[in-house]
Chains A and B, each alone.
Chain A
Amino acid sequence: MSPTPKKTNPSSDVILEVKDLVQSYNGRAVLNGLNFKVRKGETFVIMGGSGCGKTTLLRILIGAQKPTSGSVHLFGEDITKASSQELDRIRLRFGMNFQFGALFQSMTVGENIALPLQEHSQVDPSLIEMIVKMKLELVGLTGFENFKPSELSGGMRKRVGLARALALDPELLFSDEPTSGLDPVMTAVVDQLTLDSTRKIGVTAVVVSHDMTSCFRIATHMLMLGNGPRQGEIIAEGTPDEIRANPDPFLQQFVRGEADGPIAFRLSQDDYLKHLLQEG
């Protein structure tokens, strides 16, 4: 859990490095040769439309799925080749915030957050109880320790999931759509937490999101994945300012949230009529 010693060598600042990553299902490439690096302290936001392979990418990054080819180096170790024990060791250094929380339904909120601490540390139960309270305060859920996940709203569950991901004070936090389904106030709370953890404590965050407001608020580096004809490619990468200034029509349509543009949301009119009238 101890953060790596600070070195001046810039290459050691790379926490996550993805090389030539390909993932295909039945010959169809969902991710097509991705290359990128995440440096220590960055808030790296991965954007992209539905079906662009964001979730697949995240699953590969956390070692839940082996890619078809390519490598993923986390903390300098290739997790695509790591044994289960090695992977478990690496997993203690990062936290994962699942899209729907993935809370253990049979446990209370407090037990959910306490579980990683009970399993992986020698910390005394009375201290774990305090840590649980601190983590709940972070996500604005003080006093909810004894609730069952089924008694909470979807947004609250997500925030408990975030608290659980932070339980071991990881160096790296993966978040899958941390703000989708949250109201604007809670979105701001979660964004502020990401900002505080990254800017002040030095946590690195990799966030998958398509909430543009929240993306631009937290990101120090952004990456846009394409879908449709540009499936599985990186369309653009850079700082938020570079992304805003990038003229790529595909990217601009996404950032501005426009219905018309290169991202085809429907078949062309002719195709539709043909389909409807069952001609040819």
Chain B
Amino acid sequence: MKFSFESLLNAGGSRLTYGLLNLRILGWILYGFTRPGILVPSQILSQVIRIGVQAIPMASLVSLSVGFILAMQSSTELGKMGADSFIPDLVSLSLMRELGPLLVAIIVVGRSGSAVAAELGTMKVNEEIEALRVMAIDPIRYLVVPRFIALMIMLPCMTIFGNCVGLVGGWAVCTLEMGMPSSFYIMRAMQRPELWDLFSGLIKTAVFAHIIITIACYQGLNVEGGAEGVGRATTSAVVYSILWIIIADTILTGLFYFVL
């Protein structure tokens, strides 16, 4: 272990740029696999609950609404062409490929990304980050890595769950409003998408999770100037996360569309 991941852990000295933050997170995770005690399951679990599980109700509500909306909007246009039977396809494809990942990510930015930025920012202002350093506890390892792993696990889970809830929304409109048989809806919605449709959505989700948590932690750890700075950092975390999520979404969609 002479080349160690340790060299990554402290890359760049005491400065913390966005790139260095990513490098150090990577370093700690790789290092954590070689040594016990670095990745603490209980810490990760508590973050899974705080930034993942607790955001599920909101994410579900949004997904359900999107399911309703997709079904209702498409029924007007597709109905005109007598293509009612394609509504379940449309609902399930758009949820899996695009809207599920995007909307759940945006909810998580607002709910958890902002909370992480505010929490770390407050810790910075209260000298808690400084105190960790002085105790020879790396804040990236102790604070950032558990949150990072938690969100990387939870966002895909929440997206899949959100997709299911969205499908229920579509189902409600199709059967109750348009009188489509449930069996028909379920068959169409499940058969039309291929595995890749789900995977492409999940790839996006992983990228979004990375964007959300690294931007939130970066903004939080770099707070300057008291309570006002915490507010600014929280706002920046939300704005930049959403901005980069949409840009990344465009790039990934383009990649899937043109290349694959």
Contacts and interface: CB of A to CB of B under 8 A. Distances in A.
Interface of A: 62-64, 66, 83-85, 87-89, 91-92, 96, 98, 100, 102-106, 115-116, 119-120
**Max chain B Cβ within 10 angstroms of own Cβ: one of A62, A83, A84, A85:** A84
Given A64-B134, A84-B13, 17 more contacts: A64-B133, A83-B10, A84-B9, A84-B10, A91-B134, A91-B136, A96-B135, A98-B127, A98-B130, A100-B126, A100-B127, A102-B126, A102-B131, A103-B126, A104-B128, A105-B123, A119-B137
A96 to B, nearest CB: 5
A242 B39 CA distance: 53
A119 B138 CA distance: 10
A116 B142 CA distance: 12
Interface SS of chain A: loop
Interface residues of B, number: 20
Interface of B is mostly: helix
18 contacts: A62-B134, A66-B14, A84-B9, A84-B10, A88-B136, A91-B133, A91-B135, A92-B136, A102-B126, A102-B128, A103-B128, A105-B122, A105-B126, A116-B137, A119-B135, A119-B136, A120-B135, A120-B136
B77 interface: no
Interface of B: 6, 9-10, 13-14, 119, 122-123, 126-128, 130-131, 133-138, 142
Nearest to B130: A64
Nearest to A106: B119
Contact of B131 (A66, A87, A96): A96
Given A83-B10, A85-B6, A115 B130 contact: no
Contacts, number: 55
A88 B6 CA distance: 13
Chain A to chain B: the 10 pairs with minimum beta-carbon distance, closest first: A84-B10, A102-B127, A88-B136, A102-B131, A91-B136, A96-B134, A116-B135, A119-B137, A104-B128, A92-B136
A100 B142 CA distance: 22
Nearest to B142: A119
Nearest to B135: A116
Counting chain A CB atoms within 10 Å of each CB, the highest count among B6, B119, B122, B127 belongs to B127
